[in-house]
């Protein structure tokens, strides 16, 4: 798993990495602040802040979910 940084998700679907464009401010009604992680080439957005215990659970569950999804897709392809 690789930590990518903090991102801002706006109401129109834009996702902006911290340091790109305007500064990220506190979350409002139509936007939210997330921490971005890459797990097996899949980007996972998790509401900030993330503690170590939650991070290890996210890594484990995301990895299992990705493996299960790939197995399903392989089964459908047959």
- Quote the CA–CA distance of 35 and 48 in Å, as a whole number: 6
Domain count, the chain: 1
Query: How confident is the model over 27-39, as a mean pLDDT?
Result: 69
| Res 31: pLDDT | 57
Q: In terms of residue numbers, what domain contains 29?
A: 2-77
User: Token pair 């484990």 is at which residue?
Assistant: 60
Tokens standing for residue 13 = 């679907």
Average pLDDT for the chain: 76
Q: What is the pTM of this model?
A: 0.56
- Structure token pair of residue 35: 């921490």
Hey, how many other C-beta atoms are within 10 angstroms of the C-beta on 71?
Answer: 10
The length of the chain is 78
């Amino acid at each position: 798993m690789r930590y990518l940084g903090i991102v801002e998700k706006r109401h129109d679907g834009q996702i902006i990495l911290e340091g790109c464009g305007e500064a990220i401010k506190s979350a409002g009604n139509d936007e939210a602040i997330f921490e971005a992680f890459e797990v097996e080439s899949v980007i996972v957005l998790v509401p900030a802040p993330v503690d170590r215990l939650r991070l290890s659970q996210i890594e484990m569950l995301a990895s299992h979910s990705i493996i299960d999804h790939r197995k399903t897709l392989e089964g459908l392809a047959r």
